[in-house]
Amino acid sequence: MNIENPMILNNWHDKLTEPETQKDFFGDEVTSADNFVIDCGEIILKDNLERYLKEQLGFKFHSAQ
């Protein structure tokens, strides 16, 4: 009789040994190579900063031209 381990069958992972993936305000994954800012505890990737400022804080961007 061959019994399979249910942890292997269900693709189980040990959450204690796997690092938790950090996400920014918009749900994008934050890696150790990313640049980001923190606003009131919220992580915002630098690539998403302009979007955050527009959508969440009402900033308006203008050009001097």
User: CATH number of the domain at 21-65, please?
Assistant: 3.30.40.30
Please provide the average confidence, as pLDDT, over all residues in the chain: 84
11 pLDDT exceeds 90? no
Q: 10 Å Cβ neighbour count for 24?
A: 21
| pLDDT greater at residue 18 or residue 56 | 56
| pLDDT in the model for residue 14 | 59
* Domain residue extents for the chain: 21-65
Q: What would the pLDDT profile of 27-56 be if each residue is shown by its tens digit?
A: 999 998 999 999 999 999 999 999 999 999
Instruction: Give Cα 63 to chain centroid, integer Å.
Output: 31
